[in-house]
Structure 1
């Protein structure tokens, strides 16, 4: 009959990171766990108390609340809590109470710290700061799945060599895979057709199976670029099929390797800067998804990836402004084109619409407005052609409301600050992310400085902005720690934009307002707020770490979708994540919720 020790071992072997411990390590750890039975509604610990150890739920449910009493997490069996305090100063940074009759396992502080110090799996699991990512992309170490073409040309063994040649000519490729179903049987290249068919004067109706290379060498998607390079050099081949269990899933050619090495954001920027029209630019921006995959696979941080992708949109905008002036003639008065939204913050990903406006010199006359209306239409139409779709909310320079002289813009901001209605809050939130793209930047300098100072002095406006910043909340709930979307197209997913990134963006905007900080980029705002004392050092670092994890999870999700031939979006199914990834993503959402609660109660970041 199993003993309590056996039951405990069986339970822990189903919980990460204990399932990764060596059997002897786990056996040595078993006696340290202290069982505790608690009735529903009992406090486990209070904020600021010294924690006795790490808590692990064996059965039941626990609610975790922040310093202001707002619930930030609802936990069930196999969830741990309390580690954040243990790895800082040993004091609880939250409070916890049972929500049902609960059985806890308590791992004393000394045993927990020893476990983290001696066991890499435990350290990795409980350390919320992720390991540094490589800073530079390297062809030799990039995975084959990021290099390969995902729809290789195929034909059946019985198809003729003429049919194969025609297919290759029509698709402008130099090889064709011969398959039965989705199983790879052989490969034929241009060299095979010229050397085996033309040189030998074989009939054009010869089956392609007669000239193909049967059972060609292949690689798995998990192979790396150096494997491809070495195979090509050793065997003197230029085409390597990619297979999983014999099933053809892709093809890597020498051209793919060259393109991978050559495709950088700088290359795309250069091509766009010299494009003759929007059509030519669209062919370049169509490669942005592949660039995103490449940048993510290369280990670049999220703020680097989004900055490089935004640079392409900036260049496209400036090129369209130049083309517009070539078509319409020089502008009658100075003007400034600005971006807001994700482009304004330099945070564009694989999913972006356009948000922009025009500030005109106060010398502009009514007659001049027709010119700028044409200029705005030319640029916005061009951006839409390049994949930056029209803003659903009409926040574009083509809307006469957002194409006005500087004096009108001053009036807009004065009105929003003086009377912070719901619409004013929304518009101010968007416009506080403005960033000059092309034109006379002097039109914005005084406007930004004066507006920040005036807004920061108006406590009612700041309070409304704080309220607006709390409307988007992290998706914390009962189901595996996440509140997923319950119905519709995106059922059982979490929205990594509106419930993940946007809450941090909103917090950063308020901190910038409170500190009168000119930065528009969210991460730059958080860093500046911490330096200026608007955020405490520890609270600011927690929020930066949480934001990094959420933003990188979003980019990795989009990269996965692109690699599998899909369109990138922001809807992540938690089920695709490992227990480790889910746990840390939940921790990141908890941090954001805590900072929202602190802001809502008029306090700084938790220190």
Structure 2
């Protein structure tokens, strides 16, 4: 069923550069767009073919490949493609294929040329898109499933080293995965064979289970390419298996990444992984503001920028844990270091404190607990020296309350859910954003599932969480204005964190709670909430659009501060925005306010 003209008009008003046009100009464009619904796997065009016009994605995903058939981009809704070829000789410079069932709008060549001739904003936008750019790594935009080898070599646990070596030699491969049916059990590499068998004098009929890396670190297909690169650099490995629910689905090797250049964030990760002190790490993290500026200037989306910056924090944390164990001795019992707050949600910007806690195995004695108190002190002090200042609310593992056995944590969550007073609401909100960073992940996995189930079933607790999520309100004033801060250091500014981003974070957390969704990242929670039916498709898209606009505005503000030599913060003066920007920012706040109102009145499924 075709999209109605009025819906297409509304869609275009939220897509740049069409959002810069007068409504009457958009009215003129709407009938010129041709709608195309294409099933997954449809080839839209190939390199060198004449282009029909400019494509705009309404829904679905499109894979863009270069003339070597290498995936260079994965595009989603509101992205355009094909303009590069139109700007040159009218022939496609890349190939395009649908990944999902996709709805496209095609603006014919003649209409595209008229648009860029008549609209300076459109001309600037598309000129910038097709201007020659330095080669850069696109890992931040590439999902692991587009990078991995989908059929890695596998052997059963009963195989010998001789069989593994023969198979790798036959297939010219550098690794083989050890699997029990579909389940990944380990990985064996050429380096293992040469170092442990040849160098170690073991017999070639040694079982692979004796020299393989058991339970290797993995990534899901939905991870991004930068996750692979960072993991390889931090752990000094060359192979990352890709698994889903424990089942092997692919593998990514260094060879798979050779066509990409390492993004600068990967360089920082690599330096931190080799650092021997917090002071050395501080020298590296001091470059994060410049990294933020470069990433924003390169046009990276906010969720990419914050993900890469958070990766650096994760690496600092894990490196400090390793240095702490080297100083204090091995941990006496299993433990898990978790992050909450923006690090937990993988949403860190250029301004970050630390929010963390420790889950400790129930077998820990009082002497063991003293060890973990020392470890927490070492890591938190190191994070502070590395630029992640101490949490003003003392939400850190150095607080004995947040350095506890798993059984104590289970009691915490039970008490917060069954007796949801204001303090319990606040603590639960923070702790629902927990994400494992280093240690034994299984200490948290069961507790997370149990907590989500118990919390979602308790209507009183959910009501309290909803009420708590409505405490941070968008800064909307009367007469289409903004409610700016009235006094103090930040007078006449908007707090884009507490009155912009946080309201969406709080809403997404409630949707995740209602749907028992394990996702922690805000955007991932909203996507999952729509898929689970806890948020309507239209309401979810509106909220995602509003969140994207506010988060992008916040990052651009911080990047501009860095450019001027100032420390980044979250306080934006509306006077620094154009009328157009102020109008769209206010519209985004209105969307959030509307969804808050719907949730507060028991209508979370805003249509």
TM-score of the superposition, structure 2-length normalised?
0.59
* Pairs within 5 Å for 1:443-462: 443-462=443-462
Residues 506 and 126 of structure 1, relative CA distance in 2, 3 Å threshold: farther
Residue 494 (structure 2) pairs with residue 519 (structure 1): no
- Match of residue 284 from structure 2: 284
User: How far 1:481 moved relative to its partner?
Assistant: 2.0
User: How far 1:140 moved relative to its partner?
Assistant: 7.6
- Match of residue 554 from structure 1: 554
Q: Structure 1 unaligned segments of length 5 or more: list them.
A: 1-16, 30-115, 142-260
User: How far 1:293 moved relative to its partner?
Assistant: 0.3
Distance in 2 (CA, whole Å) between partners of 1:299 and 1:262 is 17
Distance in 2 (CA, whole Å) between partners of 1:132 and 1:311 is 33
Secondary structure at the aligned position of 1:343 is classed as: helix
Residues 423 and 125 of structure 1, relative CA distance in 2, 3 Å threshold: farther
Distance in 1 (CA, whole Å) between partners of 2:504 and 2:487 is 25
- Match of residue 310 from structure 1: 310
Residue 346 (structure 2) pairs with residue 346 (structure 1): yes
Is contact 1:558-1:570 (8 Å) kept? Answer: yes
User: How far 1:479 moved relative to its partner?
Assistant: 6.8
- Match of residue 423 from structure 2: 423
- Match of residue 537 from structure 1: 537
- Match of residue 587 from structure 1: 587
Is contact 1:358-1:403 (8 Å) kept? Answer: yes
Secondary structure at the aligned position of 1:347 is classed as: coil
Secondary structure at the aligned position of 1:489 is classed as: coil
Is contact 1:134-1:300 (8 Å) kept? Answer: no
Distance in 1 (CA, whole Å) between partners of 2:132 and 2:389 is 30
- Match of residue 358 from structure 1: 358
Residues 423 and 560 of structure 1, relative CA distance in 2, 3 Å threshold: same
- Match of residue 499 from structure 1: 499
Residues 400 and 124 of structure 1, relative CA distance in 2, 3 Å threshold: farther
User: How far 1:132 moved relative to its partner?
Assistant: 14
- Match of residue 273 from structure 1: 273
TM-score of the superposition, structure 1-length normalised?
0.59
Q: How many positions carry a matched residue from both structures?
A: 382
Residues 385 and 132 of structure 1, relative CA distance in 2, 3 Å threshold: farther
Residues 18 and 298 of structure 1, relative CA distance in 2, 3 Å threshold: closer
Secondary structure at the aligned position of 1:476 is classed as: coil
- Match of residue 383 from structure 1: 383
Q: Which range is displaced more, 482-491 or 452-461?
A: 482-491
Residues 538 and 277 of structure 1, relative CA distance in 2, 3 Å threshold: same
* Pairs within 5 Å for 1:147-546: 264-478=264-478, 481-546=481-546
Greater Rg over alpha carbons, structure: 1
Secondary structure at the aligned position of 1:438 is classed as: strand
Residues 137 and 433 of structure 1, relative CA distance in 2, 3 Å threshold: farther
User: How far 1:370 moved relative to its partner?
Assistant: 1.1
Deviations for 1:488-531, whole angstroms, at most 9, x for unmatched residues? 11111100000000000000000000000000000000000001
User: How far 1:486 moved relative to its partner?
Assistant: 1.1
Secondary structure at the aligned position of 1:387 is classed as: coil
Distance in 1 (CA, whole Å) between partners of 2:506 and 2:409 is 22
Distance in 1 (CA, whole Å) between partners of 2:372 and 2:130 is 43
Residue 603 (structure 2) pairs with residue 600 (structure 1): no
Is contact 1:137-1:298 (8 Å) kept? Answer: no
Deviations for 1:322-366, whole angstroms, at most 9, x for unmatched residues? 000000000011000000000000000000000000000000011
Secondary structure at the aligned position of 2:275 is classed as: coil
What RMSD, in angstroms, separates the aligned Cα atoms of the two structures?
3.4
Residues 568 and 267 of structure 1, relative CA distance in 2, 3 Å threshold: same
User: How far 1:604 moved relative to its partner?
Assistant: 2.2
Is contact 1:125-1:580 (8 Å) kept? Answer: no
Residues 19 and 592 of structure 1, relative CA distance in 2, 3 Å threshold: closer
Secondary structure at the aligned position of 2:478 is classed as: strand
User: How far 1:487 moved relative to its partner?
Assistant: 1.1
Distance in 2 (CA, whole Å) between partners of 1:537 and 1:131 is 29
Secondary structure at the aligned position of 2:352 is classed as: coil
